[in-house]
Structure 1
Amino acid sequence: MSIGYTRVRIVAQPVKIDMSDHSAKLLQARCGGRVRRVGSCVGLLCALGSRVIARIRLTAPLVMVTVGIVVSRLMHEDLADLLDESATEHAVELILALLLFVDATEVRGGLFGGERAVSARLPAVALPLTLLGAVVLGTVLLPSTSIAVLVVVACVVVPTDLAPASGLLHDSRLPERVRRTLNVESGYNDDIVAPVFVVALATLGENHAREGTGEAIVHGFQSSMTAGVVGAAGGFGGAWLARSATSRALTTLRCVRIGVVLLTLLAYAAASGLSANGFIAAFVSGIAYHATRTTIGGGTLDESELELAEDLAILSSMAMWFLFGATVSYLFELGVPGGEVFVYAAVALTALRIIPVRFSLLGSDLPAPDRRAISLLGPRGTASIVFGLLAWRGIDDIDDASLVLYVMAATVLGSIAFHGFTVDRVGRRHSREVSATPQS
């Protein structure tokens, strides 16, 4: 596969060659500052004009991506150093941890949203089949790529995220059962994919020479188990403290909201400090917190306790979409990838989603229109972006790292276009089919 990946090294270096280190850093800081200021202004406008954006059937992610592309092109900023900075890696990790925590707390009606017979099928059956299919597809379209890289690519393109098509959660044309199932799936698949991604990435990083593949797998399993324990302990402990403090009037609701955010960061940091998977810890802590506050000991949860975490998750997501737009502009300045990258992304968004999901729902009590809707509605978004950026930082080989970044960009852009069109079409078709069905 030849799409000019080696140009990444060439483009990433000119500033260091033509000017002193001090001047280079000063220029990068000024360029980066301009981009951040413009991004902040656009985010503010999106927030203040959210109803207008929704009325004209746009989404905040689409607006932020478009602006990120345009701003990056106009300011000619070289993002190579920004993407390589360790601060960028830590930032995207914390964003994903926060999003996973919020996803976990949004699961209502038990661990599977009151739809265990249906919701459990998607992460337990459809997701593994989709991951396997993505790896097999990679061996066909990208034959010169190693299996470890193909696993990383699969982990990048498979997780679903409802942000690019957030309107579907409020689309009354779709049954509540369908929307709840999609929301539960979106919350769980990031957590399931994360340990697979971490193990595959470990075999491609600088530590692989000292740690074999088998050892990496064992370490990944141990890391996941430790993270689960840390997350459960943190979520339970945090919920117990919040309940005790509020019942004794020792704190205010505002401080509880701050505490929830800090609990997320603490769970992630504690797991990372034990060389465990911080993503799993954040997700499990969200489940444990919500379960403890709502079910154990007759507790009740004031939904406003989660508002700050949810708002920060939305803000972080908007920043991630802007960075994604700038990354897309940067990538396509380097060169357009080969057609196999776009074919891979197209198949990942369609056949690799539809076939495993339809298969996993065989024998369920869902009507045929509901099964079709669930199989078609699998947007890719923030999780794919975060995993793609982490892979860029974690893979030593520049060609492999660039491949993952190109596939991520093609998949997320394709999802914005495909699912932006599909949601409305599926909703209209579902509404017609239900209307045409004779009522018993």
Structure 2
Amino acid sequence: MNLLLAYSALLLLAVLVSNLANRTILSTAALFLLAGFVLGDGVSGLIPLTPGDPVVATLAELALFAVLFTDGMRVGWTDLRHAWRLPGRALGWGLPLTLIITALTAHYLVGLGWIESLLIGAILAPTDPVFAAALVGNERVPPRLRQLLNVESGVNDGLALPFVMVFLAIAAGSADLHLGELALELGLGVLIGVAVPWAAIMLERTRWFSASHHYEPLNAVAIGLLVLALGKATHGNLFLAAFSAGITVATFGERQRESFEQFGELVAELLKLAALLVFGVLISPALLASVGWQGWLFAILALVLARPLAIWLSFLRSGLGTREVAAVMWFGPKGFASVVYALIVLNSAITAAEQVFTLVAVTIVLSILLHSSTDVVVARWFDDERETPAWHHTVRRVRAKLRGGRETGDPA
């Protein structure tokens, strides 16, 4: 009851301050995370949750399913073909390089084993589009930069997932026995994610079926629920099924995609905020104190070294300007997908589960606080009016009048 009450009150507060958050460093994600921390057992004890509580795993599962489904809908195959050059660098080079550099840092700085270090690298490699929203939605930001960040953040959650699952299986000591089963689970998830939406969309195109305008947004909802149910019934991987289903809908059902877009984003946002609240509850002062200076240094380096270095190497001779590359380097925030992957690890049987979760947790906390409070600032970096102050235009007009004409480039 306390969890529902807290979530409801925070959701109302987030709605009331959302306009302010879009213009300032205030972040609704940080609001839910910090509220969870204060309400958890480690501080006030108003929401007594433990990692083993069923609500933690269920909420994380549903939220990540919804997020991956909507992420997939942003990037149909047509979109990827038309805008693959720059996002391809970020995903094909930046993602694995970020994973490797993060893993090297975890191994040599913290002393984790190689598999656990690679697992942390895979968990922290994806980026979250929420914290780059001010850039993606700002028309003064170059379109290719906005498209790059949007496509990358929409795809990398799904691309990192198989690595997380494989490294987690190896860390659990099931490399010989269960990797074949894992491959079957992943493949079955992709098959369900492609087959169910394709069949549903083709069925609606026949002369016997047609969705009304009122029910059209529910079409994709029904597809998503059916994919979720079949994934659970067949033990296919739910998350790859969700991501594949989103891409399939975007590729073959443009009408379904458009009708679901706004509704789907809201559903995913509701679940994401709830998961962030639960994640905050699980982060106690004792957990933060147990990290040690190596853990905090790792978290800092994961944000200011791993992603920036990987992106800098990936975009050499790409044609992007210095400011654009700098923005992509900085906006590699660790957000919701990393939260859920960390919760999956925490509920696993691996020996280093708690240590992995702790390192990932402090990295995500720092990322949410730093990236969500700087997106508006970085977006203003591309504001032409801020690059060229008003007094500069005034001086140019005065000079032009003294010369008897208007200088080229002077605004009317």
Matches within 5 A, 1:37-116: 37-72=5-40, 73-80=43-50, 83-107=51-75, 110-112=78-80, 114-116=82-84
Would the aligned equivalents of 2:303 and 2:332 in 1 still touch at CA under 8 Å? yes
1:203-232 per-position Cα deviation (integer Å, ceiling 9, x unaligned)? 344xx4xx4x14544443343333222211
**Contact between 2:27 and 2:373, CA under 8 Å: does it hold in 1?**
no
Q: Does 1:324 align with 2:259?
A: no
Give the CA deviation at 1:265. 3.0
Q: Against the structure 1 CA distance between its residues 260 and 331, is the aligned structure 2 distance closer, same or farther, given a 3 Å change threshold?
A: farther
Q: Match of 2:128, SS?
A: coil
2:366 to 414, 418, 426: 414
Q: Deviations over 1:100-129 (max 9, x none)?
A: 110111226824273211111111111111
Q: Does 1:134 align with 2:102?
A: yes
**Which one-letter code corresponds to 2:185 in the other structure?**
S
The aligned residue for residue 201 of structure 2 is: 239
How far off its partner does 1:156 sit?
2.0
Match of residue 151, structure 1, among 102, 114, 118? 118
Shift of residue 77, structure 1, vs aligned partner: 4.1
Does the aligned pair in 1 maintain the 2:25–2:373 contact within 8 Å? Answer: no
Runs of 4+ in structure 1 over 6 Å off? none
Tell me the residue number matched to 1:255. 215
- Gap change, CA 1:194 and 1:35, over 3 Å in 2: same
Q: Distance in 1 between matches of 2:203 and 2:58?
A: 28
Query: 2:141 aligns to what?
Result: 174
Tell which structure's C-alpha radius of gyration is larger.
Answer: 2
- CA–CA distance in 2 between the matches of 1:409 and 1:100? 21
State the AA in 1 paired with 2:163: V
Matches within 5 A, 1:334-413: 335-397=289-351, 400-413=352-365
Higher mean Cα deviation, 98-107 or 369-378?
369-378
Query: Are the aligned partners of 1:230 and 1:270 in contact in 2 as well (CA < 8 Å)?
Result: yes
Aligned CA RMSD, in angstroms, stands at 2.7
- Checking the alignment, whether the CA contact within 8 Å between 1:174 and 1:430 is kept in structure 2 is yes
Aligned to 2:160: 193
Q: Equivalences for 1:278-293 in 2 at 5 Å? A: 278-293=238-253
| 1:335–1:375 distance in 2 versus 1, CA, 3 Å | closer
TM-score normalized with structure 2 length: 0.85
Which AA in structure 2 matches 1:349? L
> Structure 1 residues 149, 272: CA separation in 2 closer, same or farther (over 3 Å shift)?
farther
**Gap runs ≥5 in structure 2:** 389-407
Structure 2: which amino acid aligns with 1:54?
Answer: N
Residue 87 of structure 1: how far off its partner (Å):
4.3
Unaligned runs of 5+ in 1: 1-32, 295-299
2:188 corresponds to: 226
Alignment partner, residue 403 of structure 2: none
Normalised by the length of structure 1, the TM-score is 0.80
Q: Output one character per residue of 1:297-337: Cα deviation in whole Å (capped at 9) or x when no partner.
A: xxx45623333322110100111121122122x35368441
CA contact (8 A) 1:158 1:348 kept: no
Stretch moving more, 378-387 or 360-369: 360-369
- The code of the aligned residue for 2:105 comes to L
Q: Check conservation: 1:230, 1:281, Cα contact below 8 A.
A: yes
Give how far 1:142 is off: 2.0
